[in-house]
């Protein structure tokens, strides 16, 4: 896997400007992983695949799911 300079710049900026992000990053609470794909049946019966990311903050009891565009239809 190649190095992403834009991601590195973003991480550097977040570490510099957020003590909490710096703590999380240093403790490896923030991690990179594959984006899961969910297959969803639309109201018209078609099945589409959508990527999603989940942000989980267990200490606050919060979980946010981000549905991402741009995944092609499932054949």
Cα 9 to Cα 73: distance, rounded to the nearest angstrom = 33
Residue 72: the pLDDT is 53
Q: Based on the fold, state whether residues 15 and 38 are members of the same structural domain.
A: no
Q: Based on the fold, state whether residues 28 and 43 are members of the same structural domain.
A: no
Q: Based on the fold, state whether residues 28 and 45 are members of the same structural domain.
A: no
Q: Based on the fold, state whether residues 67 and 39 are members of the same structural domain.
A: yes
In which domain, by residue range, is 12 found?
1-32
Please give the structure tokens belonging to residue 37: 């794909």
- pLDDT per position as a tens digit, 16-69: 999 988 888 887 655 555 667 888 888 898 888 888 878 877 777 888 888 887
- Residue 37 pairs in a beta bridge with 51
Band of pLDDT at residue 74, cut at 50, 70 and 90: very low
Q: Based on the fold, state whether residues 49 and 74 are members of the same structural domain.
A: yes
Residue 32: the pLDDT is 56
Q: Based on the fold, state whether residues 20 and 37 are members of the same structural domain.
A: no
- Answer yes or no: pTM beyond 0.75: no
Q: Based on the fold, state whether residues 18 and 5 are members of the same structural domain.
A: yes
């Amino acid at each position: 896997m190649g190095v992403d300079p834009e991601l590195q710049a973003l991480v550097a900026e977040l570490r510099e400007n957020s003590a909490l992000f710096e703590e999380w990053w240093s403790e490896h609470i923030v991690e990179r992983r594959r984006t899961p794909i969910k297959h969803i049946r639309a109201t018209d019966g078609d099945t589409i695949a959508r990527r999603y990311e989940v942000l989980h903050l267990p200490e606050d009891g919060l979980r946010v799911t981000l549905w991402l565009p741009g995944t092609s239809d499932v054949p």
